[in-house]
Structure 1
Amino acid sequence: KSIISQGKRLILLLNKIDLVPKANITAWLKYLRLELPTVAFKASTQEQNDRLGRFNASHLLKQNQGSKCIGAELIMSLLANYCRNKDIKTSVRVGVIGYPNVGKSSVINSLKRRRACQTGATPGVTRKLQEVELDKHIRLIDSPGVVLASREQFDPVEVALKNALRVEALSDPISPVIAILRRCTVD
């Protein structure tokens, strides 16, 4: 609400949709779109450094999407509309913010259609803000993962489950497993 009250725009991006059942994606999109523009997204997992492929939005909720990006065209369209509506003469800066290891750098690489940001399977690859020019009107800002918690809320198990702490750094690696099992249904 603080961001919106400053006249800034928000777009929610649900990344890694290939890892979630289609019904869950559809339900979350319906719910979240009541408040803000929300895009289902799958970052490209292609190995080459440039010319990363994309599918258009019609492939958005198909079961087997392969290695190409999904949702980029919709994000690009939303960003282009924001630029046009504000009659921007220079460029708009877009912050990409989220928990550690949710794919922020991969999203930027997919939108840029080349490897502009370093990525990795462990948290902490992005250590500082990095600006990437998407085109002459849009600049994306890659950011390190953000975990908002006060000192009183700092539970190492919860922080590890949010991928903000390497599991190897825990003195008790069993506690996160137990916490995950508690959240699972018997089904």
Structure 2
Amino acid sequence: MSINWFPGHMNSTRQAIKDRVKAGLDVVIELLDARLPGSSSNPLLAALTTGRPSLKVLNKQDLADAAQTAAWLDFYNAQPHTRAIPLDAGEKTPARALIKACRELAPLRGDIHKPLRVLICGIPNVGKSTLINTLVGKRAAKTGDEPGITKLEQKFVLENGFYLFDTPGMLWPRISIEQSGYNLAASGAIGRNAFDEEEVALELITTLKRRYPEQLQARYGLTELGAEDAVLEAIGLKRGAKVRGGAVQMHKAAEALLIDYRQGLLGRITLETPDEMAAWRREAAEDEARKAAERDAAQAAEKVKRNGRRKASSGEA
């Protein structure tokens, strides 16, 4: 599922990040969703902040598969100039570990003469505002369960010589990796008008059947897992998503499943592994290359046709 969801404030965020980089930036904190650490990593952010040390924070780790979180931490910690830590945004002690990690990434900065300038970014609805409120110790940033709560850049002084710049949640203009689109939509990172909830719920069931079948069965009291639409219909029956006459309202069933997943009621679930993400990226790159070749061939063919018509109209041999 290819998704195009880039509201106007996200374009403003992109420009704000460019301006922050020009003004001086020492460390970039990217808050990731621990349930989808690859899909929630923003390639646009990486391009905008090339060369800056990066701290990858796998937030909502309490909702993710612990073994898979460990695998993703190993993956990111193996990258140059990068550290990765797990986190639950509302917990005070782990949140303070961010300051320590940032100071280790930029050891020559962090006093009143050379303050440590840190930019914190993340996709919408990943828990960034909750984390900032925990760090600051007061309700400094608005929070909510819908993407797009933060709309302007904010600056916080966490300690002497430690400046934190917050930006609104930002996706990228086109999500070309199909499975990432599904995973982001399932997590709540994408505005609900940008995707079909039933389609996303069916894809989520496919993933759950493959990776966490027992948890899916336990949540809804299912004795077997058949086709995805049959499972979704059974979920609708369990959750009372019926219309007059007893038929299941599939859209309501999809909403129920997605809400349960986002709230962690299905158990600790991670939707992707590092190897899967690498394979999806390769497939997307190959697909983009194929489409580009097809466009080039079509343009070349059209150019030949135009030249032929021009010669014919001018009477050239």
TM-score if structure 2 supplies the norm length?
0.44
Instruction: Give the counterpart letter for 2:188 in structure 1.
Output: N
**Is 1:138–2:162 an aligned residue pair?**
yes
Greater relative CO (CA pairs within 8 A, separation 6+): 2
5+ residue gaps in structure 1?
45-67
Q: Deviations over 1:83-116 (max 9, x none)?
A: 5423651422211111110011112122222221
Aligned counterpart in structure 2 of residue 175 of structure 1, from 199, 211, 218: 199
1:43–1:107 Cα contact (<8 Å) kept: yes
Query: What SS is found at the alignment partner of 2:159?
Result: coil
SS in 2 for 1:37: strand
Partner SS state of residue 54, structure 2: coil
1:86 equivalent in alignment to 2:109: yes
The partner residue of 1:108 within 107, 132, 139 is: 132
- Flag the 1:166–1:149 CA change in 2: closer, same or farther, 3 A: closer
Moved more, 175-184 or 101-110: 175-184
Amino acid across the alignment from 1:163: G
Asked if the contact 1:29/1:38 (under 8 Å) is kept, the reply is: yes
Alignment CA distance shift 1:18-1:162 (3 Å): closer
Is the CA contact (8 Å cut-off) linking 1:43 and 1:106 kept in structure 2? yes
Matching residue of 1:25: 69
Residue of 67, 92, 98 corresponding to 1:69: 92
Q: Count matched residues.
A: 159
Q: Distance in 2 between matches of 1:34 and 1:172?
A: 37
**C-alpha contact 1:124 1:145 (8 A) present in aligned 2:** yes
Q: Deviations over 1:6-47 (max 9, x none)?
A: xx2111100011111322222222222111211111111xxx
**Which deviates further from its counterpart, 173-182 or 98-107?**
173-182
Tell me: CA distance 1:171–1:31, structure 2 relative to 1, closer, same or farther (3 Å). closer
> What is the correspondence of 1:47-58 to structure 2 with a 5 Å cutoff?
none
Alignment correspondent of 1:42: 88
Q: In 1, Cα distance between the equivalents of 2:93 and 2:58?
A: 11
Q: Which residue of 1 aligns with 2:57?
A: 13
- Residues 38, 182 of structure 1: alpha-carbon distance in 2 compared, 3 angstrom cutoff: same
Residues 41 and 171 from structure 1, CA distance in 2 versus in 1: closer, same or farther, beyond 3 angstroms?
Answer: closer
Tell me how far 1:80 sits from its aligned partner: 3.0
* 1:31-87 deviations in Å (ceiling 9; x for gaps): 22111211111111xxxxxxxxxxxxxxxxxxxxxxx33522321212233554236
Q: What SS does the aligned partner of 2:156 have?
A: strand
TM-align CA RMSD: 2.7
Q: Is 1:118 aligned with 2:142?
A: yes
1:129-168 maps to which residues of 2 (within 5 A)?
129-150=153-174, 153=176, 158=182, 160-161=185-186, 163-167=188-192
Contact 1:133 1:139 in 2 (8 A): yes
Identity of aligned pairs, percent? 25
Q: Distance in 2 between matches of 1:22 and 1:171?
A: 29
Residue 14 to residue 87, structure 1, CA distance change in 2 (3 Å):
closer
Task: In structure 2, list runs of 5 or more residues that go unmatched.
Answer: 1-45, 214-317
Residue aligning to 1:61:
none
